[in-house]
């Protein structure tokens, strides 16, 4: 039995075992991604669904799968970018578009430039987390190739990179119809190049088609450019593409999940070129911006949902905009399938949170003091310039705790720690987050520190 049939069989069981809204909300956009050595990997459209299925429906899913396969399966849940689009009356906004720029078998993209028109400046909400990137994007649209070239935009997932760089493309086409714009992902670039090489080998052409496409544009937008790192041929070709365009003063816009210096296996010459123009990052939105994003969607789609419920969702989902939109859609969908108004109780039920548990707040002075004592370093050392390991780690832990238990923005944390840059703080926080996943020592340190801070 193939995975598709297996899942369809299981879904039929879930549909009987669950109420219709529950089934609709949590199961319709899932699928089996892989089944190997007794491990079934289930793809979910977003974090909420993943958490829901993991915590509430694991046993139901397992027993159905075990019964059908006659095996003892283990389940893993992952976020699946290719998840089927949501079929609801809410409309295209809530569908996850196919990764833009990835040529698909069904004859997409609809247009040669690879842009999706739903991504505009107009529906991009600005806040302290992204206003620099936004201003740079606007300046590029006004005079492509003249200011900020290349633009290198980076952020964590779901924070609006694709939206903003697509908006740049869409707006340039509108304002300067004569300019040729191409948007594509690092992955699509790689695939097209490989196909071209194949074709050249079979003597059915040369690399000229590819080069004509990418070197004769006025604006080249590459999304998820980190994908090309570690691939020699692609990096080589990209390097020449980049240079040709750059020399001709054509606009280059790149987006990535990390700054150039942190993309591993990125050729140094590319890294230095990527950093040579304007580098801008975007941070997760604060609660006000999250609120604004949801209110804007309400207006755009004429939805009936109260401020109170929007406030609740905005408070409940802080990770990124994609999850925020996912949660919002779930509340709306649930209400629609059940023919109810999206009330606060309904939203609480759907999101599995009764009230927003505010993270306890601590004074930043207290955090610095406790860390200095715990690691036996002085406060001056924490705030000072020295980069010895014995000081760097406590400093990064300080960044992490300040980030987690105070409302101080990244720049403010940098200030507290002796005038450091906000990106330094962000990297410090990420470092500790990564180690938290792996290092028992760091886990223990944080447990102890939190106990001392009573959080
Ligand atoms: P990334 O490319 O950084 O992973 P996306 O651009 O795909 O993120 O954004 C995820 C979703 O959130 C998209 O639907 C996008 O339209 C939306 N989004 C992100 N940032 C904003 C914003 N500032 N205002 C409005 N919508 C946003
Ligand atoms: Mg993206």
Helix, strand or coil for residue 296?
helix
Whole-angstrom CA distances from 257 to 172, 204, 321, 389 are 24, 37, 15, 27
Ligand 1 neighbour 161 (Cβ under 6 A) = yes
What is the Å distance from ligand 1's center to 322 Cα?
6
Ligand 1 neighbour 155 (Cβ under 6 A) = yes
Q: What pLDDT score does 443 carry? A: 83
For residue 240, give both structure tokens: 């020449």
Q: At what angle do helices 232-247 and 208-215 cross, to 10 degrees?
A: 50
pTM value? Answer: 0.62
Q: What pLDDT score does 93 carry? A: 38
Whole-angstrom CA distances from 43 to 265, 403, 404 are 29, 31, 30
Which protein residue has the closest C-alpha to ligand 1 atom 23? 125
Q: What pLDDT score does 106 carry? A: 33
For residue 150, give both structure tokens: 């290349």
Which protein residue has the closest C-alpha to ligand 1 atom 26? 124
What is the Å distance from ligand 2's center to 2 Cα?
31
Is residue 238 a contact partner of residue 228, using CB atoms and an 8 Å limit? yes
Ligand 1 neighbour 100 (Cβ under 6 A) = no
Ligand 1 neighbour 81 (Cβ under 6 A) = no
List for the chain the helix, strand, coil content (%; round to 5). Answer: 55, 10, 35
Ligand 1 neighbour 322 (Cβ under 6 A) = yes
Of 131, 160, 329, the one to substitute when testing ligand 1's pocket (max ligand atoms within 8 A of C-beta) is: 160
Q: What pLDDT score does 205 carry? A: 59
DSSP tag of 125: P
Which protein residue has the closest C-alpha to ligand 1 atom 9? 160
Surface-to-core class of residue 383, CB atoms within 10 Å of its CB (0-12 exposed, 13-18 middle, 19+ buried)? middle
**Run means of pLDDT, 10 residues per run, the chain, 455 residues:** 90 80 84 93 88 87 91 92 55 41 41 87 93 96 96 96 97 96 95 86 72 93 96 94 96 97 95 96 92 90 89 92 93 88 91 62 90 91 91 95 85 94 90 81 87 85
Ligand 1 neighbour 320 (Cβ under 6 A) = no
Is residue 95 a contact partner of residue 101, using CB atoms and an 8 Å limit? no
Which protein residue has the closest C-alpha to ligand 1 atom 20? 160
Of 125, 137, 161, 322, the one to substitute when testing ligand 1's pocket (max ligand atoms within 8 A of C-beta) is: 322
Whole-angstrom CA distances from 145 to 183, 259, 320, 436, 440 are 15, 21, 31, 42, 49
């Amino acid at each position: 039995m193939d995975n598709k049939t297996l899942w369809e069989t299981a879904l039929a069981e879930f549909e009987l075992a669950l109420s219709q809204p529950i089934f609709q909300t949590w199961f319709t956009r899932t699928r089996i991604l892989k089944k190997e050595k007794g491990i079934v990997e289930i793809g979910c459209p977003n974090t909420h669904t993943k958490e829901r299925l993991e915590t509430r429906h694991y046993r139901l899913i397992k027993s159905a799968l075990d019964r059908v396969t006659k095996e003892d399966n283990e389940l893993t849940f992952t976020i699946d970018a290719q998840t089927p689009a949501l079929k609801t009356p809410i409309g295209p906004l809530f569908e996850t578009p196919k990764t833009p720029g990835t040529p698909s078998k069904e004859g997409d993209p609809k247009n040669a430039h690879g842009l999706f028109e739903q991504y505009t400046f107009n529906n991009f909400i600005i806040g302290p987390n992204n206003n620099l990137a936004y201003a740079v994007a606007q300046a590029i649209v006004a005079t492509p190739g003249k200011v900020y070239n290349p633009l290198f935009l980076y952020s964590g997932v779901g924070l609006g990179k694709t939206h903003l760089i697509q908006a740049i493309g869409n707006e340039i086409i509108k304002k300067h119809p004569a300019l040729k714009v191409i948007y594509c992902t690092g992955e699509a670039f790689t695939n097209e190049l490989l196909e071209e090489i194949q074709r050249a080998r079979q003597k059915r052409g040369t690399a000229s088609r590819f080069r004509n496409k990418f070197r004769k544009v006025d604006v080249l937008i590459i999304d998820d450019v980190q994908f090309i790192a570690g691939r020699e041929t692609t990096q080589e070709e990209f390097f020449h593409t980049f240079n040709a365009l750059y020399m001709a003063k054509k606009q280059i816009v790149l987006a990535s999940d990390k700054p150039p210096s942190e993309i591993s296996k990125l050729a140094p010459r590319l890294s230095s070129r990527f950093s040579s123009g304007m580098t801008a990052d975007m941070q997760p939105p604060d609660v006000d911006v999250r609120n604004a994003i949801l209110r804007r969607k309400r207006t755009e789609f004429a939805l009936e949902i109260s401020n109170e419920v929007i406030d609740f969702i905005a408070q409940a989902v802080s990770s990124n905009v994609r999850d925020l939109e996912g949660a919002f859609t779930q509340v709306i969908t649930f209400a629609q399938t059940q023919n109810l108004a999206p009330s606060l109780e309904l939203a609480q039920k759907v999101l599995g949170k009764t009230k927003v548990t505010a993270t306890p707040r601590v004074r930043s002075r207290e955090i610095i003091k406790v860390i200095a004592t715990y690691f036996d370093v002085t406060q001056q050392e924490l705030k000072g310039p020295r980069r010895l390991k014995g000081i760097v780690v406590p400093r990064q832990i300080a960044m992490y705790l300040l980030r987690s238990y105070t409302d101080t923005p990244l720049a403010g944390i940098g200030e507290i720690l002796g005038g450091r840059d906000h990106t330094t703080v962000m990297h410090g926080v990420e470092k500790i987050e990564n180690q938290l996943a792996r290092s028992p020592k760091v886990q223990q340190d944080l447990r102890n520190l939190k106990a001392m801070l009573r959080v």
